[in-house]
Structure 1
Amino acid sequence: MRILAAGLIVACLTIAAPARAENPTPYPDTVTIETGKPFGPFVEAFAKAITSNGFNIVGIACANCAIQGVFGETVPGNRVFLFFKPAYARRMLAASVAAGIEAPIRVYATEAADGSAHVTYRKPSAVFGAYEVPDLTAMGRELDDHVARIVADAGAGS
């Protein structure tokens, strides 16, 4: 009887559990671009585009590198590029110290099944606009243009 009761509880919980589907863009103003460019050349071009547009790369996270190194497993390529510019940091902090958690800008490059690079990022105007500080909102809009230019520059090169 206990086994039957336990089985019924598990069945009810399984049936009642909500279906879980991934939402690839859970935040408003998330941009995803299929570059059509092979992943490896794209990430190299992206790093160059960041610096050629006057930004500093403050970090590059590579989960597939870590997984390969630690577990010996191969997973599709991915990089999180973290970049910013001191002039924007200065403006951001003058407008809101709390907004400092939003810097640096993060852009996620992933390798699709066909080997091409996809890029995902939240528009800086959405990130900084959430603070409802006019100077941050204006800065976010400027950064939208810079990030779009960086992505375009990286995709335009070969």
Structure 2
Amino acid sequence: MFRSIMFLSAFVFSLPAWAGDLQPRDGWAVHPTTQTHDALTKAVKAAVKSNGLIVVTQAGPTKAAANRGITIPGNRVIGVFNNDFAVRVLETSTAAMIEAPIRIYVTENEDGTATLSYKLPSHVMAPYTDEGGAALAAIAQELDAAFQAIAKAAITGSH
């Protein structure tokens, strides 16, 4: 009996950890797609470049988990910014730069499709507008438009 319980426990813990598809939440843009995780990740990177921003960072636990024998859904965080925005943000608020790069999140859904999501830059920068004022709010609005263009290009393949 103990062996059966140990086997079942090992089996349950080795199943994919589907946390469920991301749902819309306050301050986020969430875009379900029909693309696979890998295809959407590549499309996001291309769209970032074609919209004048740079992929500054990337992180994801999927491959590292696989190297440990653990299967989890595709999961990639892509940090996006550029030096022009960095300099302009710093002119308004040193504290606000803690939020750069702003992240785009690509997650694999249980059905094999992927979702592109991100916190709206205006939402991310909102806590600093008391310091950065209207200038920082305007920069955040520009970033909102840029992130929306990235999402549209990545989803439609028009990058």
Please tell me the TM-score bracket, short chain as reference: 0.7 to 0.9
1:38 maps to which of 9, 17, 36: 36
Question: What SS does the aligned partner of 1:81 have?
Answer: strand
User: For residue 78 of structure 1, what is the aligned residue in structure 2?
Assistant: 75
1:27-51 per-position Cα deviation (integer Å, ceiling 9, x unaligned)? 7311211022222111111111111
The alpha-carbon distance between structure 1 residues 139 and 25, as it changes in their structure 2 partners (threshold 3 A), is farther
Unaligned runs of 5+ in 2: 1-19
- Structure 2 contact 37–107 (Cα < 8 Å) conserved: yes
User: For residue 17 of structure 1, what is the aligned residue in structure 2?
Assistant: none
1:93 maps to which of 90, 97, 111: 90
Aligned residues: 135
- Structure 1 contact 27–122 (Cα < 8 Å) conserved: no
The alpha-carbon distance between structure 1 residues 26 and 74, as it changes in their structure 2 partners (threshold 3 A), is same
**1:57 and 1:120 mapped to 2: Cα distance?**
16
- Which one has a bigger Cα radius of gyration? 1
What amino acid is the match of 2:91?
A
Root mean square deviation of aligned Cα: 1.9
- Structure 2 contact 24–30 (Cα < 8 Å) conserved: no
Identity among equivalent positions (%) equals 37
What amino acid is the match of 1:135?
A
Unaligned runs of 5+ in 1: 1-21
Q: TM-score, normalised by structure 2?
A: 0.79
User: For residue 65 of structure 2, what is the aligned residue in structure 1?
Assistant: 67
User: For residue 49 of structure 1, what is the aligned residue in structure 2?
Assistant: 47
**1:26 and 1:98 mapped to 2: Cα distance?**
27
- Structure 1 contact 57–81 (Cα < 8 Å) conserved: yes
Deviation at 1:153, TM superposition (A): 0.5
**1:128 and 1:145 mapped to 2: Cα distance?**
14
**1:135 and 1:128 mapped to 2: Cα distance?**
11
Deviation at 1:82, TM superposition (A): 0.4
What amino acid is the match of 2:149?
R
1:43-83 per-position Cα deviation (integer Å, ceiling 9, x unaligned)? 111111111111111111011111112x1111110100001
Deviation at 1:141, TM superposition (A): 0.6
User: For residue 156 of structure 1, what is the aligned residue in structure 2?
Assistant: 156
